[in-house]
Each structure stands twice: as C-alpha cells, then as structure tokens.
C-alpha cells in the first residue's frame, strides 16, 4: 500500500518501475483527492478547470513504458497542476477574470508544452487572484470564492499563485506551475509550507502567459521538496524564439548551466554548502516588535536561523540599508505599465475585451481590488507617466547596490521572511487591514528580488504557535538558481519544517 501524501517524483518513478502502481493509478487517485477535498468536503477551492483526458494520457504513458522499457522524460507520469494564468490547450483558461470564462486556448503555453514533452500529466488549472494582481486568492472567474489554507481553513493562501500553493500543500498533485511578478510564487509557498522558486526572468518562457509586468514576470516551479522543484525546473527552462527575454536562457546554456546537466545534479552537496555559507540577514525587513503578527513570524525564522547557525552557517548582520524601503516600492511600475502589458496580450485574443480597463471599475467596493482597478486604469502607454523613466533608473541603481553588497560582504545569499505576517484571515481582504493612507501596503518582502530581477527561493521555516506556516526566502545573484537550490536543500534537511496538513487529509490517499 502506498500513501500518496508527500509522494515525490522519485518515489512515483520507483513505483512505476517496480510495477506497484501505474501512472494511470497515480493520476486517478490525485483526481479522487481533488474531487473529495477540493471540490467537496472542506472545499479547499484550489483548482478550476480539470482535464477530461488526463487518465487517457497517463494510460498512454504506461503503454510507452511497457513498450520501450524507459520513461518518456524526467516527469514521466507525474501529475502537475497549472496556474490559470497560462494557456492550456482544451481547458478553460481565465487569467483570473470572469470575462474569460469561455476562453479555451487551442494551444499550450510554451512551458506547458515543455512539461508535457517531459512526460508530465496536466491535471488541470489552479486558482489565482484577479488578473494575477491581488495578494488574496479571490477572482471573479471563480465567483470571488477564496482558496482555503489547508493548515487552517479560515485563512487565505496568498496570491497570485495561491491555488498552486494550496494544491501542492494538500497533496492534490506532485508539482504545480506558478508565476511570479512581485512575489506570486513565494508568498503562497510561504503561506502553504512548500518550496517555490522564482528564477531569473527569461530563464523560462512567458509565451502563453497573461503578463503583469513583462520585465519582472517569470513562471516557476512549486513543489513539496527542493529536489522536486529542481527537477521540475530542468523541464521548464529553455530558449523560446517567441519570447526575446529568453536570451537569458540561451546565455545560461552558453555558460554551461546548470552544471552537471541538471539543477538537481549536486543537491546533496547542499548540506555541506549551507554549513559553510555566508548569508546576509536583512533585519530591516523583519516584523516590528510592536506587531504581534510580525513577532510570530520572527520567532519562527529566528528558530530556523539558530538551527542553521548550530550546523555552521554564518549569518551576516545587515542591520541598515539606506533607502531600502524606498527602493522596494518606488521602482515598481504596476500602475505605469501593467495596463499596457496586459492589453498587448489581449490583442492576441480578439474574442476577449481589448482593454483591461473595460473589465474593471475605476474603484471597487472590495478593498482588495482597489489596486487592481487603479492598475487597470493606468496610462495606455507607460511613457505617458512622467515618473516612469526615473523609476526604471532607480530600479537599475538598486540592482547595482545589491550586487555590490554581495561582493563586498562575500555573501552566498540574502535571507529574510517572505512575508512579515502569517497567512491572513479572509475577512482581512474586506476590512482593508493592509491598506494605509488609502494605499495598498501588504507586508511582503518579495518585492526585493522582483525589482532587481534576481532569483529567489522560499523554503518552509516552521509554524507559528497557532499552526500557521512561515517561509524563509533566500535571494541570489542572476543565474544562481542552482546555488540557491543547493543551499535550500541544506536548509530543508537541517530545519525540516515541511509537514503534511493535519488529520483532515487521512482519507482518499492510498494506492493498493
């Protein structure tokens, strides 16, 4: 008997090879779990459209293995869910808006096609926030229903890749595709006790993804373990002539990355690496002592740091960086260019509205949507905003400062909490808890890596006294995904903070 909770790629492949179960068996039990726990029962609400062909596709992979005696690829028979921001052939794809409820793409996003080529079985689509732009998990395509946190059903999962985070945490799939512009992979990963990687933008193609800020957008892997995250990344990266940002992927390949031919090639060295690493801790972005929510997160991260220090990791105190708060907000250009970037995508979908401004009011009675509404009614051309050039120049200045900080202090990574609070309650979305002076002020730290376009990974750090997950983020330099994954592997094995959601999930989990 095999328990599919916490099952990994390696364990699934071992089962296929030994004949203990088939890909069709595995896909079937994950679909059963989705039906039992996601669509019914507690109704986690992490998935949207589901595949009607997944079982047949899995059966075809079983036939392939039997006939050829080998796997089709690194993800042979592995159940994967895809954020509903990415075009998926034959499945309703909404981009988080009710205006696209009838949108069924006739081809896959580049990344989805690559995953299928590696043998993955796409189970369906996951929930996201409205136009992937809100920190809460609701969207109009899903009738504004929240996605519930598997660790506490009264709490949110974060956004915008919240459905992917919840589904992986609750064992509805082995892997999920996320997308990260300002933290949309890392925030749900932190809130759902999983691993999520934001790679250097351009390492993975965005073709077929509805954009938010093209210069910051990047798909990325979400998984329960660092190893699975690395193996999934192997199957996502690559040059795409339709996305000129993927010159980054071509450059990485020319540099011989990943070393050893796989981002997982040297993961076991991560234990040695983390013990000898120098990690800069940005204390400035920890929660205030006066904030009980911030203190709850701080305690978890402090405990993780102590475990790593005991193992030998050196943490370097970065107590004050001039103008850090300014640099982490001012260079963001959602209000200047998101309307233009989204509209450029809508232009490829003539059956949908051609201007996001036509899909949203200028102001909303839902506080969590006010920023999205303002974004949707921004300038049609970002150059119309007189601050746009200055924001870009300061963005590049900030990147240089961080690069020099790494070099001058001999750092292997920067570390800080992904978010300065635990997963919020649903009512926080409506009360305006994270609005200050009429402006959105969600306490995330993920903007740092996003603005400078560096890779970052979220790793489970532990749980608050109330049982809410907390993640710890590690930021590297450009093209350092492999190094970050190795460090994260060390953290994962020393801190050991990943655990399956509590007893609610006992049923519908076994293969015989």
Question: Which residues does the annotation mark as catalytic?
Answer: 83, 160, 184
CA 414 to each of CA 79, 283, 303: distance values in angstroms, whole numbers, following the listed order: 33, 11, 17
For 233, other C-beta atoms within 10 Å of its C-beta total: 23
Distance CA 269, CA 271 (A): 5
Distance CA 45, CA 251 (A): 39
- How many helical (H) and strand (E) elements, i.e. helices and strands, does the chain have? 17, 15
Are the C-beta atoms of 191 and 297 separated by less than 8 Å?
no
Are the C-beta atoms of 12 and 3 separated by less than 8 Å?
no
Distance CA 444, CA 277 (A): 25
Distance CA 49, CA 417 (A): 33
Are the C-beta atoms of 177 and 222 separated by less than 8 Å?
yes
Distance CA 128, CA 376 (A): 17
Residue with tokens 């009738």: 143
Hey, what's the torsion of the CAs at 158, 161, 162, 165, to 10 degrees? -110
Phi/psi zone of residue 317: left (φ > 0), alpha (ψ -120 to 50 degrees), beta?
beta
Distance CA 264, CA 223 (A): 14
Element containing residue 3 per DSSP (H, E): strand 2-3
Inter-helix orientation angle 226-234/481-495, to 10°: 160
Distance CA 196, CA 208 (A): 21
Q: Which two tokens stand for residue 321?
A: 């960086």
């Amino acid at each position: 008997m095999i328990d599919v909770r916490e099952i990994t790629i390696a364990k699934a492949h071992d089962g296929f090879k030994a004949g203990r179960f088939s890909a069709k068996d595995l896909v079937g039990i994950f679909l059963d779990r989705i039906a039992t726990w996601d669509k019914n029962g507690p109704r986690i609400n992490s998935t949207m459209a589901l595949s009607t062909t997944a079982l047949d596709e899995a059966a075809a992979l079983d036939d392939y293995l039997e006939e050829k005696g080998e796997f089709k690829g690194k993800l042979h028979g592995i159940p994967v869910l895809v954020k509903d921001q990415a075009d998926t052939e034959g499945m309703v794809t909404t981009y988080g808006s009710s205006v696209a409820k009838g949108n069924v793409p006739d081809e896959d996003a580049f990344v989805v096609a690559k995953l299928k080529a590696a043998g993955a079985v796409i189970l369906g689509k996951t929930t996201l926030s409205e136009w992937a732009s809100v920190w809460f998990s609701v969207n109009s395509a899903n009738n504004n229903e929240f996605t519930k946190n598997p660790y506490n059903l009264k709490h949110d999962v974060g956004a915008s890749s919240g459905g992917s985070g919840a589904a992986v945490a609750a064992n509805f799939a082995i892997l999920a595709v996320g997308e990260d512009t300002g933290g949309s992979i890392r925030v749900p990963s932190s809130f759902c006790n999983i691993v999520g990687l934001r790679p250097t933008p351009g390492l993975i193609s965005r073709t077929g993804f509805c954009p938010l800020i093209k210069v910051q957008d990047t798909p990325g892997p979400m998984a329960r373990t660092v190893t699975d995250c690395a193996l999934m990344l192997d199957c996502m990266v690559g040059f795409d002539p339709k996305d000129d940002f993927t010159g980054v992927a071509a450059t990485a390949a020319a540099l011989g990355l990943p070393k050893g031919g796989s981002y997982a090639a040297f993961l076991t060295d991560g234990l040695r690496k983390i013990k000898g690493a120098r990690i800069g801790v940005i204390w400035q972005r920890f929660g205030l002592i006066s904030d009980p929510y911030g203190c709850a997160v701080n305690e978890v991260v402090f405990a993780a740091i102590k475990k790593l220090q005991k193992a030998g990791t050196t943490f370097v105190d970065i107590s004050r960086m001039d103008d850090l708060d300014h640099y982490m907000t001012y260079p963001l250009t959602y209000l200047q260019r998101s309307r233009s970037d989204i509209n450029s995508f809508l232009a490829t979908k003539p059956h949908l509205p051609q201007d996001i401004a036509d899909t949203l009011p200028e102001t909303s009675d839902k506080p969590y949507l006010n920023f999205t509404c303002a974004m949707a009614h921004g300038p049609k051309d970002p150059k119309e905003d007189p601050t746009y050039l200055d924001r870009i120049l300061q963005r590049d200045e900030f990147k240089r400062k961080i690069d020099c900080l790494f070099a001058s202090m001999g750092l292997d990574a920067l570390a800080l909490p992904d978010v300065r609070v635990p997963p919020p309650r649903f009512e926080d979305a409506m009360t305006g808890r994270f609005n200050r002076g009429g402006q959105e002020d969600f306490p995330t730290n993920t903007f740092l890596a996003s603005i400078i376009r560096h890779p970052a990974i979220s790793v489970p750090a532990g749980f608050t006294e109330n049982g809410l997950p907390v993640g710890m983020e590690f930021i590297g330099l450009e093209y350092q995904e492999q190094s970050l994954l190795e460090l994260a592997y060390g953290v994962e094995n020393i801190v050991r903070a990943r655990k399956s959601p509590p007893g609610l999930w006992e049923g519908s989990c076994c293969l015989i």
